[in-house]
């Protein structure tokens, strides 16, 4: 990663996710917000090199934001405007407000990256970009001490043993998991541990490719196959050769393409659009999705036969909140890594910070934790990590008390109130001690102590042995 910080202001979540992933692959840091108010708060608190600004946001117009940025906050951050069809006038106004460029939607991600790189070429950031092209090849790992992560690493190792000994087509792998849990990392690890490590690894993000282009992108086309096919081009399946084709967000594939993909997996033959010739593909198919694919099969949104074909083997990445203590292990790793990268003093974690990191929900999983920690390290003084924001996040997750507690002659004792709250928390979390502890704002250890004190029992469905608290 470079230290180039990009802020994407966009409320189309799938598109935003695709852009963010692509930019991260290029070695940039990308933070996404979906409202102008969040964007303003972010711009005023974080160093940003570039803003990608959508014109229509739920709480106002991108132009007003740009005007405020320049005239009220006097920020000259470079802005690239993303406009939809018919918003050309807005683009012109944006240029007058010193936007660097505008790109028309649907945005081609290659063009977006080229535009960003052109901007970087022109600035003093060039050096940092050169650093990124070497750093982006940094070895990726799935870190974490939890049992759940350990199981994932074991699965990867088992598949690697299988695939490192044979030239035959390895089994298709389906990687499942919430956003930010490490599905990309997992796909790369599988590729690098296989016999194919030195061959192509082609990453296709099915959520990014526009529906009308995706078929030509995947299968390629002959010259003249359709209006804009001016040359013959091979598709991404062919480009993967006998390496790996990683179909990310495979749940987003339109149904008719699911049928075509099923045929490729069955017969291992690909035919370019407009061609009669079939070509063999020896690519290893790894797919990933954050969607509940099985449920989608039941709802008719995803082909059952393709689902079963894709998940010869399934790897399920656990959400960070179910991997006790991993958030802290990862936080310390990311903090150390960031400090080293920027030549900062080794960060120190106070006991309160450790506790807060462990109690936070991390809905965006490892990605969110990583970004939070990287920011905290960059903003910290003398290596002592700042807590800004995290406490607010935790407070926001705590249930709000709508009625003030009052003492009456027949009210509960403190002891009884505590027991009642614990019982309610356990009922809410179906007996899960970790989740109940989070709800109550105490550590798992503290909750266990209180459970014992009140003679309460909880269903222990946690991942780790209790002494790891
Ligand atoms: N266990 C882990 N150890 C170290 N880094 C991790 C781990 N899991 C994820 N990361 C890091 O978190 C970030 C997000 O990971 P990744 O892109 O693989 O997630 P993802 O599941 O593919 O997300 P999405 O569904 O949004 O595509 C990356 O920077 C990755 O290196």
Tokens at 170, concatenated: 């390895």
CATH topology of domain 324-381: Helicase, Ruva Protein; domain 3 (1.10.8)
Ligand 1 pocket mutation pick from 16, 205, 366, 375 by most atoms within 8 angstroms of CB: 366
Ligand 1 pocket mutation pick from 13, 135, 180, 335 by most atoms within 8 angstroms of CB: 180
Digit-by-digit pLDDT tens for the chain (469 residues) are 556 889 999 999 888 999 999 999 888 889 999 999 899 888 877 778 899 999 989 999 999 999 888 877 767 788 999 987 566 677 778 877 878 888 888 888 988 998 888 777 655 343 333 323 323 344 578 999 999 999 999 999 999 888 877 667 889 999 999 999 999 999 999 998 888 888 889 988 888 777 777 888 899 888 877 766 777 888 899 998 889 999 999 999 999 899 999 999 999 999 998 888 889 999 999 999 999 999 999 999 999 999 999 999 999 999 999 997 899 999 999 999 888 877 788 888 888 888 888 888 888 899 989 888 887 887 777 767 765 555 444 444 444 333 444 555 445 567 777 888 888 788 777 777 877 877 787 767 678 778 877 888 765 544 333 333 3
Quote the CA–CA distance of 82 and 87 in Å, as a whole number. 10
Same fold, 1-138 and 411-468: no
Task: Calculate how far, in angstroms, residue 301's C-alpha sits from the geometric centre of ligand 1.
Answer: 26
Tokens at 1, concatenated: 């990663």
> Which tens digit of pLDDT belongs to each residue from 40-74?
888 877 778 899 999 989 999 999 999 888 877 76
Q: Which residue has its alpha carbon closest to ligand 1 atom 18?
A: 182
Longest dimension (CA), the chain: 88
Quote the CA–CA distance of 107 and 207 in Å, as a whole number. 13
> Which tens digit of pLDDT belongs to each residue from 287-345?
999 999 999 999 999 999 999 999 999 999 999 999 978 999 999 999 998 888 777 88
> Which tens digit of pLDDT belongs to each residue from 212-227?
778 888 998 888 777 6
Sign of the Cα pseudo-torsion (66, 67, 69, 70, in order): positive
Q: Which residue has its alpha carbon closest to ligand 1 atom 30?
A: 182
Tokens at 456, concatenated: 């309460």
Tokens at 58, concatenated: 């739920």
Q: Which of 396, 405, 314, 406 is nearest to 361 (CA)?
A: 396
Pick the CATH number of 147-318 from 3.90.1150.10, 3.40.50.300, 3.90.230.10, 3.40.50.2000: 3.40.50.300
Task: Calculate how far, in angstroms, residue 141's C-alpha sits from the geometric centre of ligand 1.
Answer: 9
CATH number of 411-468: 1.10.10.60
Give residue limits of the domains in the chain: 1-138, 147-318, 324-381, 411-468
DSSP 260-273: HHHHHHHH-EEE-B
Tokens at 71, concatenated: 């005239």
Q: Are 95 and 102 in contact (CB under 8 A)?
A: yes
CA atoms within 13 A of residue 438's CA, in its CB half-sphere: 22
Ligand 1 pocket mutation pick from 21, 22, 181, 334 by most atoms within 8 angstroms of CB: 181
Q: Which residue has its alpha carbon closest to ligand 1 atom 25?
A: 179
Q: Are 137 and 31 in contact (CB under 8 A)?
A: no
Query: How much helix, strand and coil, in percent to the nearest 5, is found in the chain?
Result: 50, 15, 40
Angle between helices 433-440 and 444-454 (to 10 degrees): 100
Tokens at 233, concatenated: 């081009």
Give the architecture-level CATH label for domain 1-138. Answer: 3-Layer(aba) Sandwich (3.40)
> Which residues fall within 8 angstroms of residue 178, CB to CB, at 6 or more apart?
290, 317, 319, 365
């Amino acid at each position: 990663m470079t230290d180039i910080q990009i802020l994407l202001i966009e409320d189309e979540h799938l598109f935003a996710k695709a852009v963010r992933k692509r930019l991260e692959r290029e070695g940039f840091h990308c933070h996404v917000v979906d409202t102008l108010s969040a964007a303003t708060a972010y711009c005023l608190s974080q160093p940003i090199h570039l803003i990608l600004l959508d014109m229509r946001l739920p709480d106002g117009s991108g132009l007003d934001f740009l005007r405020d940025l320049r005239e009220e906050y006097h920020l000259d951050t470079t802005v690239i405007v993303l406009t939809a069809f018919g918003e050309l006038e807005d683009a012109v106004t944006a240029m007058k407000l010193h936007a660097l460029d505008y790109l028309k939607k649907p945005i081609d991600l290659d063009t977006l990256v080229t535009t960003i790189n052109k901007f970087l070429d022109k600035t003093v950031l060039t050096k940092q970009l050169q650093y990124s092209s070497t750093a982006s090849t940094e070895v990726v790992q799935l870190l974490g001490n939890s049992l759940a992560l350990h199981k994932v690493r074991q699965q990867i190792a088992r598949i690697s043993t299988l695939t490192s000994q044979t030239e035959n087509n390895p089994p298709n792998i389906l990687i499942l998991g919430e956003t930010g849990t490490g599905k990309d990392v997992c796909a790369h690890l599988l590729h690098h541990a296989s016999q194919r490590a030195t061959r192509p690894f082609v990453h296709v993000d099915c959520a990014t490719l526009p529906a009308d282009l995706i078929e030509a992108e995947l299968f390629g086309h002959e010259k003249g196959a359709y209006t804009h096919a001016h040359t013959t081009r091979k598709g991404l399946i062919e480009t993967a050769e006998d390496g790996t084709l990683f179909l990310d967000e495979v749940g987003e594939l339109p149904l008719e393409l699911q049928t075509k993909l099923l045929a490729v997996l069955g017969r291992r033959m690909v035919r370019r659009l407009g061609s009669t010739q079939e070509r063999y593909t020896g690519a290893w198919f790894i797919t990933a999705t954050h969607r509940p694919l099985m449920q989608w099969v039941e709802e008719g949104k995803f082909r059952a036969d393709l689902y079963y074909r894709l998940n010869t083997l399934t790897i399920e990445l656990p959400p960070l909140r179910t991997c006790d203590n991993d958030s802290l292990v990862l936080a310390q790793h990311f903090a150390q890594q960031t400090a080293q990268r920027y030549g900062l003093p080794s960060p120190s974690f106070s006991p309160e910070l450790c506790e807060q990191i462990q109690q936070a929900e991390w809905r965006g999983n490892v990605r969110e934790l990583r970004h939070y920690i990287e920011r905290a390290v960059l903003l910290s003084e003398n290596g002592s990590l700042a807590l800004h924001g995290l406490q607010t996040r935790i407070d926001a997750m705590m249930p709000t008390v709508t009625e003030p507690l009052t003492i009456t002659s027949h009210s509960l004792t403190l002891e009884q109130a505590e027991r009642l709250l614990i019982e309610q928390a356990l009922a809410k979390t179906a007996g899960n001690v970790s989740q109940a502890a989070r709800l109550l704002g105490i550590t798992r250890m503290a909750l266990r102590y209180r459970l014992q004190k009140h003679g309460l029992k909880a269903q222990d469905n946690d991942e780790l042995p209790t002494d790891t608290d």
